Structure 1
């Protein structure tokens, strides 16, 4: 139990630290009015009319950082995925079926995200496409492996 808690703490510290730096880097969108049209999807979702840099949603800072300075947003995504992996392995010990569902849902979300990024025009977008597509395949492997192990145990228990 302690090793999982320690790994979760490290994962959350990595997530929070990289989130803070990515948020700072993304604040550069305030001064770049040419990108307001292309890098503010959350402001559009929330129906915020952007007349100056202060009108931009804070979530759009992460989009801008991911597009043009992708190092810390990449670390942020990897830290978040690491947290999900640690939780899936912990849950797998106690409830195999839920771990299979968690891995399956995570892989579906990652596939949807990667499909949105498939034609990305920036370096950051292409990096995030590779990360999300690769992670989706990884979580599919985890789900399939857990499902086979679960069914193998059921077959062994039925034969004895």
Structure 2
């Protein structure tokens, strides 16, 4: 079991010791899509949702979620994020909203999970706030788009 990074010699789960890793600037971006009806998109854009400002609330939820990632994902390191951005782009022609995130820090471990958590919770917040208007919504395509820093350097999803 010694080849497994999150399992110790006795087979117990453990958080990886990153003390010997170099501190570098680390950045990750992620995306997710939430599909909804045109009427619901129009309602969001006109700020007529009964629960309030859907886009701003979802952005704040995504930022808060990135900061709480280690509380949600077992064995994730608590990180001192220096930047979290969440953006929501209306893609009306595809009947969807594209949620993107960027997470950044200077540290010893990557921020991919934080970026994924941000888009996931932002999309879930959009769903929650719009479900009365469109219970048929669906969330799809959550993925890491890019990451930089650390021993493995830069990486970009091949389909971006």
User: What TM-score does the superposition give when structure 2 sets the normalisation length?
Assistant: 0.28
Highest CA radius of gyration, 1 or 2?
Answer: 1
Instruction: Specify which structure has the bigger relative contact order, considering alpha-carbon pairs within 8 angstroms and separated by 6 or more residues.
Output: 2
Higher strand share: 2
User: What TM-score does the superposition give when structure 1 sets the normalisation length?
Assistant: 0.28
Higher helix share: 1
